[in-house]
Amino acid sequence: MKTQSRRTVLGQIVAGGVAATMTATATAAGADPIFAMIVMHKKLTADWQGLYDQLQEAEFNAAKEYGHRPIELIHRRDYTIGASEIDTRRQTLLEAGEIDPATVEQEYLDASARYQAKVEAGLAWDERTGLATLRNDVDRRVAAARRYEKRLAHTKPATPAGAAALIQYVLDDDLEADESYWHMTALRGAVAALNGMGAAVQS
């Protein structure tokens, strides 16, 4: 389903890009803000990835003395899940209607408690190893990058060149590994921008 959706959007991009390229004239002078936003997103991403690499190396070294950091995942009904996946699994089971809702709710409470225990064990490990500050720094920088990429995804390019740059930036990223799903929003914005430029010239 996801692959099909991306193919559909990319097809729209090609169609929109051709239309805009064929009909658009030179735009008014002035920088397209999308270029600066791409540069900033690259910087924010490089910042957290560099710090994350430091954390990984520090964890590896600390594990030699303290053992490995507890993994924040639990097992539930043949699934290994954590964080928001626990809520998602609860909703899926309730909607399926194959298990007594009271049982689903009790399992959900148990899973949530077990997951929270894993989280607390991880935080305790960070304190013992002296990595709590570094991990918090990584989390803050990741959150900053995530907030900014939402802004980037919802900013429509002002020029055909800007739209092309945004499309290329998205395609150069790892579409399958990324879990923030900003890519599709950005691609749709680029399509809308290109189609709008073409329509404006035709009118």
pLDDT digits (tens, 9 = 90+) for 9-59: 555 555 555 444 444 434 444 579 999 999 999 999 999 999 999 999 999
Contact predicate 48/134, CB 8 Å: no
**Does the pLDDT at position 93 exceed 50?**
yes
The model's pLDDT over 54-84, given as tens digits with 9 standing for 90+, comes to 999 999 999 999 999 999 999 988 889 999 9
Would you state the torsion angle of the CA atoms of residues 189, 192, 195, 199, taken in this order, to the nearest 10 degrees? Answer: -130
Banded model confidence at residue 128, pLDDT cuts 50, 70, 90: very high
d(CA 106, CA 112): 10
Tell me the whole-structure pTM to 2 decimals: 0.74
Average of pLDDT values for 82-92? 92
Calculate the alpha carbon distances from 69 to 55, 61, 80 in Å.
12, 11, 17
**Spatial separation of the C-alpha atoms in residues 154 and 150, rounded to whole Å:** 6
